[in-house]
Amino acid sequence: MIVVSGFIRVRPEKMDELRPYMRAALEGTRQEPGCLMYAYGEDVLDPGLIRIVERWDNWAAIDAHTTKPHIKAWADAREAAGGTLERHILAHEVTGEGRAL
Amino acid sequence: MIVVSGFIRVRPEKMDELRPYMRAALEGTRQEPGCLMYAYGEDVLDPGLIRIVERWDNWAAIDAHTTKPHIKAWADAREAAGGTLERHILAHEVTGEGRAL
């Protein structure tokens, strides 16, 4: 499995305008083959900072994901709303079930 | 490194009441030895669902984290605010730098 963790930052005042694009990206991605978890959460202390959590079956699924129209539309919407101000996302391959906390 | 991903759910109408406890948990945890990233984000589509992203140096740091007073206070605050309605958090050990997405 591959666990993806990180964040992007957008202008906080644009969150409501961007939400439909996030919805389309989330709902579309969750239907992609190999997607086990895919979520965006707005930082509870830092508006506009979008925390990202994903789990995928394999690398090919992630590569295919990056080409999807709902992801392109979400990226275009960010550009139109002042850009992606920060971006830090890392994918790590893991083995085993993990430890429940 | 250990990557932690998952979520907890609280009553959405309690988010503002809980925010000071989240702030204390986040700020306290980020000062703990071995903590590399520690964040809570409220799901952009599902209020009250708190997405969790963490990165830690080692398991001992995670074990020590669970005993900290700021974490106990945050758990107690959730209990007082209607409880933790869902909880799913997994820790996975990873090797290497990961792949930037």
* Rounded (5°) CA angle B94-A84-A34: 45
Instruction: Report pLDDT digits (tens) over A25-44.
Output: 999 999 999 999 999 999 99
DSSP string, chain A: -EEEEEEEE--GGGHHHHHHHHHHHHHHHHTSTTEEEEEEEEESSSTTEEEEEEEES-HHHHHHHTT-HHHHHHHHHHHHTT---EEEEEEEE--S--EE-
Instruction: Report pLDDT digits (tens) over A48-88.
Output: 999 999 999 999 999 999 999 999 999 999 999 999 999 99
Q: What is the number of other CB atoms lying within 10 angstroms of the CB of residue B47?
A: 14
Q: Could you tell me which residues are beta bridge partners of residue A49?
A: A9
Nearest Cα neighbor of A47 from A20, A74, A15, A21 is: A15
Confidence of residue B96 (pLDDT cuts 50, 70, 90): confident
The residue assigned the tokens 């071995």 is B34
Chain B residues close to A62, C-beta within 8 Å: 101
- A30 Cα distance to chain centroid: 11
Instruction: Report pLDDT digits (tens) over B50-66.
Output: 999 999 999 999 999 99
> In this predicted structure, what is the pLDDT of residue A96?
85
Three-state SS across chain B? CEEEEEEEECCHHHHHHHHHHHHHHHHHHHCCCCEEEEEEEEECCCCCEEEEEEEECCHHHHHHHCCCHHHHHHHHHHHHCCCCCEEEEEEEECCCCCEEC
Averaged pLDDT score across all residues of chain B: 97
Query: Which amino acid is it at B15?
Result: M
Residue window 3-42, chain A: list those with CB within 8 Å of chain B: 3-7, 15, 19, 22-23, 26, 37, 39-42
> Quick check: A101 and B4 CB within 8 A?
yes
> In this predicted structure, what is the pLDDT of residue A50?
98
Q: Could you tell me which residues are beta bridge partners of residue A40?
A: A52
On whether ipTM exceeds 0.85, the answer is yes
- A31 Cα to chain B: minimum distance (Å): 16
CATH number of B2-93: 3.30.70.100
> In this predicted structure, what is the pLDDT of residue A37?
97
Chain B residues close to A41, C-beta within 8 Å: 40-44, 49-51
